[in-house]
Amino acid sequence: MKTEHSMQLFTDARTLIPGGVNSPVRACRAVGTDPLFVAEASGCTITDVDGNRFVDFVGSWGPMIVGHAHPEVVEAIRSTAGRGTSFGAPSPLEIDLAAEVCAAVPSLEKVRFVNSGTEATMSAVRLARGYTGRKMVVKFDGCYHGHADSFLVKAGSGLITLGIPGSPGVPDDIVKNTISIPYNDEAVLDATLRNPELDIACVIVEPVAGNMGVVPPSETFLQKLRQLTSELGIVLIFDEVITGFRLALGGAQEYFDVTPDLTCLGKIIGGGLPVGAYGGRSDIMDLIAPEGPVYQAGTLSGNPLAMAAGLATLGIVKQPGFYKELEEKSEWFGNALNAVAASLSVPVVLNRVGSMMTCFFTPDPVTDFQSASHAETDLYGEYYRQMRSQGIWLAPSQFEALFVSAAHERKHLEKALVAAESSFKKLMK
């Protein structure tokens, strides 16, 4: 595979942009290689600057559920752009998208648009603190909620530990207000939330974890979380930046039938343009400025291009049968990939919920961060490089999801299976 142009661009980029990339995983360091630069994408196909074509299973990390450059989305952006790209004043498309989002996700009585998932989670936590008058945030090890200071927390050791900064530049004083506990561990959850010394404002959770690789909630985890938070007056925030409009029209909360107080969205609702949103019960949402005292703002929030792209995308996913078809296709693909691995005795575990899945290079069940971290990242790196050389575009990290989109046809999935078989064979040598 020729990669000269990408390599030259990467060399140039590194002189101007830290690490040559505008978001760290893109640099492909975790999989022991350099990034390919993308020239264009259409449907489920990505073409790099050297003319190589790939079947894309990243989908821009989730947003591209209807495929790249979908004609309806492109047309919506084009026609909207001709009428101006930002006004700094309210415009009708914001109401249209708010209405679509609130209709699809019934726990959202009101919604506020922002520009990224990070802004959504950061603002939702501020709101939860403003609403409860309490301080502490509880999150789960291995869940990612964007790069705001409060979330860049490493779990310490011990049963209930206060956070320690996960990055230089994050003060201890900030993360001491964040507690990180194991995902899917109801006993620790119960003990933490009931601890009278902790002044807990909210619990934030990825209802299906996607950022330690895909890890589903255990059968009762989300219910237990709902029951405890309701009982204790703690705000429950579902971070559905990935799962929103991915698992169902109503997201993970519909899929698992658990209703949070606040929900964070992003990715799909912007159809590939920068967007985020947070919403929930009116009595909480009405505390946001200018209705209430909790401040949150944004120059480009409710941007018309993002609203138009989101509206066009939601128009497609709400067609009858959209999620059923996506589920069937994903199930077929997940099962087939598992079968290929099993036939070659490759020790992998495939976790899948709907159209998001991760093939972990470990023989043991992956149910939390601890078990995910048993995965052999070197093997994943080798697998990634093998797959890429055969035209399959995967996430450049073991701890990310593979996404199936509406644009994947049987032939694309079959191509990936053939590539997986040959990659697995090379790994097992």
Closer to ligand PMP by Cβ: residue 145 or 412 = 145
Cα dihedral 109, 114, 118, 119 in deg (nearest 10): -90
Site track for ligand PMP across 96-125, x = CB under 6 A? --------------------xxx--x----
Closer to ligand PMP by Cβ: residue 170 or 346 = 170
Closer to ligand PMP by Cβ: residue 386 or 405 = 405
Piece of the chain touching ligand PMP by CB under 6 A; list 7-15, 72-80, 143-151, 414-422: 143-151
* Active site (annotated) includes residue 411: no
CA distance 198 to 209: 25
Residue 425, CB-side half-sphere exposure with 13 Å CA sphere: 6
* Active site (annotated) includes residue 110: no
* Active site (annotated) includes residue 144: yes
Rounded to the nearest 5°, which phi and psi values hold at 137?
A: -115, 130
Q: Per residue, what are the HEC states of 356-390?
A: EEEEECCCCCCCCHHHHCCCCHHHHHHHHHHHHHC
CA distance 357 to 157: 29
Which residue in 41, 44, 42, 35 sits closest to 5, CA to CA?
35
Tell me which residues in 60-89 interact with ligand PMP (CB under 6 A). 61
Rounded to the nearest 5°, which phi and psi values hold at 308?
A: -65, -45
83: tokens are: 């009428």
Piece of the chain touching ligand PMP by CB under 6 A; list 79-87, 181-189, 205-213, 228-236: 205-213
Bridge-based pairing state of the strands 45-48 and 53-56 = antiparallel
CB of 265 to ligand PMP, least distance (A): 9
Closer to ligand PMP by Cβ: residue 107 or 386 = 107
75: tokens are: 């047309």
User: Out of 48, 56, 149, 239, which residue is the one contacting ligand PMP (CB under 6 A)?
Assistant: 239
305: tokens are: 């291009």
| Size of site (CB under 6 A) for ligand PMP | 16
Catalytic residue among 48, 141, 149, 239: 239
145 scored as a contact of ligand PMP (CB under 6 A) = yes
Per DSSP, 294 falls in state B
User: Out of 114, 242, 317, 395, which residue is the one contacting ligand PMP (CB under 6 A)?
Assistant: 242
Residue 102, CB-side half-sphere exposure with 13 Å CA sphere: 17
Closer to ligand PMP by Cβ: residue 267 or 385 = 267
Per DSSP, 264 falls in state E
Piece of the chain touching ligand PMP by CB under 6 A; list 7-15, 190-198, 203-211, 316-324: 203-211
CB of 242 to ligand PMP, least distance (A): 5
AA identity, residue 170: V
Closer to ligand PMP by Cβ: residue 152 or 181 = 152
371 scored as a contact of ligand PMP (CB under 6 A) = no
Catalytic residue among 131, 144, 278, 380: 144
CA distance 260 to 237: 6
Q: Using CB under 6 A as the criterion, which residues of the chain lie in contact with ligand PMP when the complex forms?
A: 61, 116-118, 121, 144-146, 206, 210-211, 239, 241-242, 266, 276
Active site residues: 144, 239, 267
